Amino acid sequence: MFEERGIPGVALVTDPFRQTGTAMATTWGLPAFKFLCTPHPIAILGDKEMDERVDTLLPLVVDLLTAR
């Protein structure tokens, strides 16, 4: 919905769900939608591990959101 309004968006998915995310974006008419993938699973990560994951992904999210 953001992309349709001209607001950049980024989807974050774990590796096994990239294909599903790509298929959904294509179905919604956004085949070039940007994804970041992270190793699966994330539900079992503790606070420290999740913080480390966020520290790695955040610069990538910012890059995708600010890219033209």
The reported pLDDT for the residue numbered 35 is: 86
The reported pLDDT for the residue numbered 30 is: 85
Domain ranges of the chain: 12-66
Q: What is the DSSP string of 1-68?
A: -TGGGT----EEEEGGGHHHHHHHHHHTT-TT--EEEEPSP-TT--HHHHHHHHHHHHHHHHHHHH--
Q: Is the pTM of this model over 0.85?
A: no
pLDDT digits 0-9 by tens, 9-65 = 888 999 999 999 999 989 988 888 888 999 999 999 999 999 999 999 999 999 988
With bands split at pLDDT 50, 70 and 90, how would you rate the model's confidence at 3? confident
